[in-house]
Amino acid sequence: MIVMGIESSCDETGVGVVDWDGEKATLLADEVASSVDEHARYGGVVPEVASRAHLQAMVPTMTRAREAADIDRPDAIAVTIGPGLAGALLVGVAAAKAYALAWDVPLYAVNHLGGHVAVDTLEHGPMPSSVALLVSGGHTHLLGIDDLSRPIVEMGTTVDDAAGEAFDKVARLLDLPYPGGPSVDAIARDGDPTAIAFPRGMTGPRDAPFDFSFSGLKTAVARYVEGRVRAGHDVSVPDVAASFQEAVADVLTAKAIRACQTRDVTTLVLGGGATANSRIRSMAQERTAAAGIDLRVPRPRLCTDNGVMVAALGAHVIGGGAPASPLTVATDPGMSV
Ligand code: KG4
Ligand code: ZN
């Protein structure tokens, strides 16, 4: 069965195609058009700009995906209905409905976060019961997964900023280019991660064990930089970047390991654009190895937003026997897992 996935929740227009054999999805096409360059001068994603870019990119991206997969039409279409930017989601959902109607194929509305988890099966095969740590510009979640065709359990999330958002804000503070994550990651390579003891948010004994908070950390970085400047001292940008990154990686990986132990599972899956971060990856590798946990990390291209993740989740949902969605299905910008 050929399943197409359409993604438009943020600034990536994605159309992916997978072949589903009832157990495993195989990647046939992965076409993405990003409007990231258009947002760069604003220092963050501008919803209106993202929506317009989706409208322009959708049909060409669809055409490229059909050519790459060498198909005329799929057997089913899956589309992200949330969570995400309201206007951006509308473009993908409207396109998915139009194609489903024109091709007379069923439509399946899916959750973006589930897609970030399901995409891992394309590289590493069927997924056992596990915990997923999703970190991107829009989300920071610890999820409990038993069966990808069934609803996912939310174990915890951020109470303020997403992890990637914290990277983007700290990058701006340090005058590093947008998107901030890759810039912080690059400059941190020349810094000392132990130079500054930044706070680890939500790690007190009375804090929710699987929730996160990054706004205090961002404020701590701002105060540190301001204090140095006021006192007439230099600011070592590599040291600040490395110490900040260390604090984020520390909290994310410690809570993820604890979540695995609490659920009594031995598989941790990483997903979302910020898992491209070299320190989050290396710390996750070190700590999972020490705890006897298997770590599954999709390649960076699959960790960022794309259409294949939607197709992969759609395939599992179809495999689980879910009914198709009506063509009246709405978007759900604030959708939880
Ligand atoms: O998943 P994604 O492409 O889009 C969504 O936000 O849904 O993730 C983008 C986010 C941005 O905040 C970006 O700064 C962050 O992921 N990111 C990184 C790195 N690469 C991307 N954060 C830290 N280190 C990186 N190497
Ligand atoms: Zn995402």
173-195, pLDDT tens digit by residue?
Answer: 999 998 899 999 999 999 999 99
83 lines ligand 1 (CB under 6 A): no
Angstrom distance (rounded) from CA 271 to CA 304? 8
CATH topology identical between 2-119+306-319 and 126-300: yes
Question: Region 5-27: what's the mean pLDDT?
Answer: 97
The one-character DSSP state at 135 is E
What pLDDT score does 44 carry? 84
Look at residue 335 and tell me whether its pLDDT is greater than 90. Answer: yes
Give the pLDDT confidence score for residue 277 in this predicted structure: 94
- The CATH H-level superfamily of 2-119+306-319 is ATPase, nucleotide binding domain (3.30.420.40)
Residue 136 annotated as binding?
Answer: yes
Residue 170 clears pLDDT 90, i.e. is over it = yes
State the distance from the centre of ligand 1 to the C-alpha of 164, rounded, in angstroms. Answer: 5
The answer for residues whose C-beta is within 8 angstroms of residue 28's C-beta and 6 or more apart is 2, 17, 18, 19, 68, 69, 70, 71
Cβ pair 111, 309 in contact under 8 A: no
- Give the residue extent of every domain in the chain: 2-119+306-319, 126-300
Top pLDDT among 40 and 306 is at: 306
How many angstroms separate the CA atoms of 266 and 195, rounded?
33
Question: How far is it, in rounded angstroms, from Cα 42 to Cα 326?
Answer: 37
Say how many C-beta atoms besides its own lie within 10 A of residue 282's C-beta. Answer: 12
Q: Is any atom of ligand 1 closer than 6 Å to the C-beta of 34?
A: no
pLDDT tens digit string along 66-104?
Answer: 999 999 999 999 999 999 999 999 999 999 999 999 999
DSSP class per residue in 176-243: PPSSHHHHHHHHHTTS-TTSS----TT-STTS-TT-B--HHHHHHHHHHHHHHHHTT----HHHHHHH
Predicted pLDDT of residue 178: 86
Site to probe by mutation for ligand 1, drawn from 111, 133, 277 as the one with most ligand atoms within 8 Å of Cβ, is 277
Residues 264-278 pLDDT 10s:
999 999 999 899 899
126-300 architecture in CATH? Answer: 2-Layer Sandwich (3.30)
* Tokens encoding 207: 């804090």
- List all residues 6 or more positions away from 41 whose beta carbon is below 8 Å from its beta carbon: none
Residue 292 is given by DSSP the state T
Q: How far apart are CA 7 and CA 15, in angstroms?
A: 6
261 alpha carbon – ligand 1 mean position (Å): 27
Of the ligands numbered here, which is closest to the C-alpha atom of 310? Answer: 2
d(CA 162, CA 328): 31
Q: How far is the CA of 141 from the centre of ligand 1 (A)?
A: 14
Cα 223 to its chain centre, rounded Å, is 29
**Nearest Cα residue to 257 out of 298, 203, 305, 310:** 203
Quote the crossing angle between the two packed helices 163-173 and 237-263, to the nearest 10°.
Answer: 170
pLDDT recorded at residue 313? 98
> pLDDT-derived band of residue 316, with 50, 70 and 90 as boundaries?
very high
> Is residue 112 marked as binding?
yes
Sequence-ordered strand ranges (E) for the chain: 2-7, 12-20, 25-34, 76-82, 107-111, 130-135, 140-145, 153-157, 267-271, 294-296
pLDDT on residue 43: 80
Question: Any known ligand binding at 137?
Answer: yes
Closest ligand 1 atom number to CA of residue 179: 14
- The CA 216 to ligand 2 mean position distance, Å, reads 23
Environment class of 84 (CB within 10 Å of its CB; exposed 0-12, middle 13-18, buried 19+): buried
- ipTM higher than threshold 0.85: yes
What is the per-residue pLDDT across 99-158, written as a single tens digit (0 to 9) for each?
Answer: 999 999 999 999 999 999 999 999 999 999 999 999 998 889 999 999 999 989 999 999
pLDDT (average), residues 3-21: 98
> 83 alpha carbon to ligand 2 midpoint, in Å?
9
Q: Is the CB of 115 under 6 A from ligand 1?
A: no
pLDDT value at position 151?
87
pLDDT digits (tens, 9 = 90+) for 26-54: 999 999 999 999 998 888 899 999 999 99
Q: Which two tokens stand for residue 174?
A: 């340090």
CA 164 to CA 12: how far, in whole Å? 16
Query: pLDDT averaged over the chain?
Result: 96
Q: pLDDT per residue over 202-229, tens digit each?
A: 999 999 999 999 999 999 999 999 999 9
Q: What letter would DSSP give residue 331?
A: P
CA dist 318 and 323 (Å) reads 8
* 3-state DSSP percent of the chain in helix, strand and coil, to 5: 45, 20, 35
What percent of the chain is modeled with pLDDT above 70?
A: 100
168 labelled ligand-binding: yes
Please report the pLDDT score of residue 215 as a whole number: 95
